[in-house]
A = this chain, B = another copy of it.
Amino acid sequence: MQMQLTARLARALADDSDLSYPDYEVLVALTDQPDGRQRPGELARMLGWEKSRLSHHVSRMARRGLVSRVRCPSDQRGSLVVVTDEGVAAITAAAPGHVDAVRRYVVDLLSPAELDSLAAISATVLAGLRADPCPDDEPAEEGAP
């Protein structure tokens, strides 16, 4: 179910938007920032991606004009990923269709009790994953280290 649903949602998104699902995730994360920009490492952590994956993906998206890289924040060895006007336009156009697809393929088919149950299950499994981290996974920030 997991695999087939993922494939279907990705196809529906690609069909009416020229964005892949990973593209969509990156744009959502960036447009959630007040200034539409974020450090690559932080962005990777938010998405649960490896840093190299993010870097490759940003390169491809930059080639298509959806985002751009900015050198020289306050830390001279770092960079910033910035969403472009074109990127904002792309996600604005794509979001309603994607939300519709999720509704159509999942939300509309399940009862309120099932949706609650699914949310609880997801939270439990995610907590389990966090409790047993992989060697290279960054632990994510803690309130009191």
Identity of the chain B residue whose Cβ is nearest the Cβ of A108 in the assembled complex = B128
Interface class of chain A by DSSP: helix
Q: Is the CB of A117 within 8 A of B121?
A: yes
Contact of A144 with B by CB under 8 A: no
Counting every copy of the chain, the complex holds: 2
Interface segment out of the listed A2-10, A65-73, A75-83: A2-10
Q: Is the CB of B3 within 8 A of A126?
A: no
Contact of A46 with B by CB under 8 A: no
Contact of A139 with B by CB under 8 A: no
Identity of the chain B residue whose Cβ is nearest the Cβ of A122 in the assembled complex = B1
Q: Which of A109-145 contact B (CB under 8 A)?
A: 109-110, 114, 117-118, 120-129, 132, 134
Which of B118, B124, B125 interacts with A121 by CB under 8 Å?
B118
Q: How far is the CB of A132 from chain B (nearest CB, A)?
A: 8
- If the complex has contacts A114-B117, A121-B114, are A8 and B134 also in contact, measured as CB distance less than 8 A? yes
